[in-house]
Structure 1
């Protein structure tokens, strides 16, 4: 289950992960690390060196088998393969300057470079054989001047194909990085917008209450002002943090309820029961307050006497966290009710923070309305 939960948030970590994978690929000119003295990625030099070490061993074994002359095979390997390394490094630079070319154009360049490289290696090999090994028997394959051209043309073609294949993979990863960064930025902006909707909504209602209390009950209005200031200070302190420990969220709920208690005097009572095992669980800000605010709004309207709101937070056997808010009243909406902005806001934030890993329900249970929120795993964007 933990692995499945982790995959729900993988797309948000894609920019860093994709960049790390792109950096690890050879020929990653745009994103690879450099060695400090050149703009060429260190990963290219490592990959190219490893490739030519393999080619050198393969070429040496092939020459020993074909030529039956150890000195000739070793001499050709020591001369031609380092030159091949230099030629592919030059081809790398050449290809980088033509990254805008695609399809047949770049294929023609690759073929032309490979053939020229093969012909150059043939000329060097023949000069070496003529200078150091003039007595090669006519029947020996080493006497065939075209062999180095065929061998190295094939090597350079294979190298070019590998380069363009890896380059295309790097470009695809870079595009995924750009798309995922844009998606993550848009989602973070939406989350910030949703959260900023809640504070003005609460502040508007609270200040209206303070204004109503000032003429008849200035002491209560002053106390309410202090509590509103403390609550807003907490909200501002948490502005840069997308999540907070569940214990902090419950304290914010208590501060919210204390403000409402001054507003509704003896009609409101709120109790909170929280399992100590869930105190440190990170949750989005104001996710519990939205449920409590909804309970107060509809519970006070339906109850003529005492409104008793109960908040229960506990951990399930599968490590899911369950938050229940219970209030007396009726779930059926009344005519003329405006859409529940706070509840819709909470639902949307839960979809972003816990995709496919949350359940939010409002049900009638006898004379009470039960809001039940179940959260599985860690919040995304934590």
Structure 2
């Protein structure tokens, strides 16, 4: 659909390449260091294994282990979350666990060595210290690592959902704006002096000889103007209603061109409840009248057909004119406006294409049955 912003990837931390992402990464590191430090200290204190006089030494030891384990854990989980959470949303948690075990083991090895160098751990007691600290390090790393990973994944998914909703809202607003522009453009063409004068002259000429026909044309003109005014209030309209507007428009123009305008509408009744952007089909037909019927002495033939597949609708407007290329259409052309509306409403699933069928020019409007 259209110019959609890229949502953030679900993971442990934001992109560290941006100031906001780096600050968020630092907050997570600080929390991952301070949390386990406090937890380890409280566990030992509540178990009675240390006295308050030993609290500073234990806090220093817990801080060293947390510092050795937390930053690489956060960095690795962040990297894995950004690269694998979308591809393997469930398997990624199985990848987190062995990663945390590895970082906890390596961090404990480094932490115990650093404490021995600092004199906190007596010489010769390195492996005893490691044997006592490693189980706590692994368990606490798994608890904090998986908890933070789950929280951050849910938070980023929520941010992604909010961003997608905002993007859709922006696209819907743009669709309404383009729809309003299409309605105004269509209305301007309807109330163009030449159009009204030609229609009124045709009605005046019909009144003496065919008053019923004149009354019918007045009704069709009123219906056409009413539909143009109401088109901005909705983004989709039934195909049956669009076909009625197309017939009204062609019958009005037929009073002006007479036998020069020849048309046929062949649409199955089963497709009349399909939804499409208002004035979409009418814009294609009007383009044929303007560039084929009006410009040639012999006039032109216009044929409107519709077909469907399992999940798509195809509308074809066929004429016997010279044809044209979509690349040659200016941005302010009515068909360019229609293409933009199709992209906003259907994304890549809705498109407009021009093809040549023998000696006929065919403009096809293709879109899914449900937007």
On whether the aligned pair clears a TM of 0.5, the verdict is yes
Judging changes above 3 Å, is the alpha-carbon distance between structure 1 residues 258 and 180 closer, same or farther for their aligned structure 2 residues? same
Give runs of aligned pairs for residues 135-146 of structure 1, distance below 5 A. Answer: none
Distance in 1, matches of 2:263 and 2:202, equals 25
Distance in 2, matches of 1:158 and 1:358, equals 48
Residues 1:172 and 2:143 aligned together: no
Residues 1:353 and 2:345 aligned together: yes
Contact persistence 1:320–1:374 (CA under 8 A): yes
Show structure 1 runs of 5+ residues with no match. Answer: 1-7, 26-98, 128-143
Judging changes above 3 Å, is the alpha-carbon distance between structure 1 residues 230 and 152 closer, same or farther for their aligned structure 2 residues? same
Give 1:296 deviation, angstroms: 0.9
Residues 1:279 and 2:201 aligned together: no
255-264 or 218-227: bigger deviation: 218-227
Distance in 1, matches of 2:332 and 2:46, equals 82
Contact persistence 1:361–1:373 (CA under 8 A): yes
Residues 1:294 and 2:287 aligned together: yes
Contact persistence 1:275–1:315 (CA under 8 A): no
Query: Residue 319 of structure 2: SS of its match in structure 1?
Result: strand
Residues 1:118 and 2:104 aligned together: no
Contact persistence 1:302–1:330 (CA under 8 A): no
Q: From 160, 163, 174, give the equivalent of 1:190.
A: 174
Give 1:298 deviation, angstroms: 1.4
Give runs of aligned pairs for residues 1-382 of structure 1, distance below 5 A. Answer: 102-104=24-26, 106-126=28-48, 154-207=138-191, 208=193, 209-212=195-198, 214=200, 217-218=203-204, 226-305=219-298, 307-316=300-309, 319-331=311-323, 341-358=333-350, 360-365=352-357, 367-375=359-367, 377-378=368-369, 380=371
Distance in 2, matches of 1:252 and 1:217, equals 18
Q: 1:330-365 CA distances to partner (integer Å, 9 max, x unpaired)?
A: 2269xxx98771122222223333434355333455
Judging changes above 3 Å, is the alpha-carbon distance between structure 1 residues 106 and 353 closer, same or farther for their aligned structure 2 residues? closer
Distance in 2, matches of 1:196 and 1:221, equals 31
TM superposition score normalised by structure 2: 0.58
Distance in 2, matches of 1:322 and 1:213, equals 32
- Considering only aligned residues, what root-mean-square deviation do their CA atoms show, in Å? 4.4
Distance in 1, matches of 2:306 and 2:131, equals 79
Distance in 2, matches of 1:215 and 1:289, equals 23
Distance in 2, matches of 1:230 and 1:217, equals 15
Distance in 2, matches of 1:223 and 1:330, equals 33
Contact persistence 1:121–1:152 (CA under 8 A): no
Query: Residue 232 of structure 2: SS of its match in structure 1?
Result: coil
Distance in 1, matches of 2:23 and 2:30, equals 11
Judging changes above 3 Å, is the alpha-carbon distance between structure 1 residues 174 and 341 closer, same or farther for their aligned structure 2 residues? same
Contact persistence 1:315–1:322 (CA under 8 A): yes
Distance in 2, matches of 1:326 and 1:264, equals 18
Distance in 1, matches of 2:230 and 2:139, equals 62
Q: How many residues align?
A: 273
Judging changes above 3 Å, is the alpha-carbon distance between structure 1 residues 340 and 296 closer, same or farther for their aligned structure 2 residues? farther
Distance in 2, matches of 1:332 and 1:115, equals 73
Judging changes above 3 Å, is the alpha-carbon distance between structure 1 residues 225 and 201 closer, same or farther for their aligned structure 2 residues? farther
Give 1:292 deviation, angstroms: 0.7
Judging changes above 3 Å, is the alpha-carbon distance between structure 1 residues 255 and 176 closer, same or farther for their aligned structure 2 residues? same
Give 1:184 deviation, angstroms: 1.9
Judging changes above 3 Å, is the alpha-carbon distance between structure 1 residues 153 and 364 closer, same or farther for their aligned structure 2 residues? closer
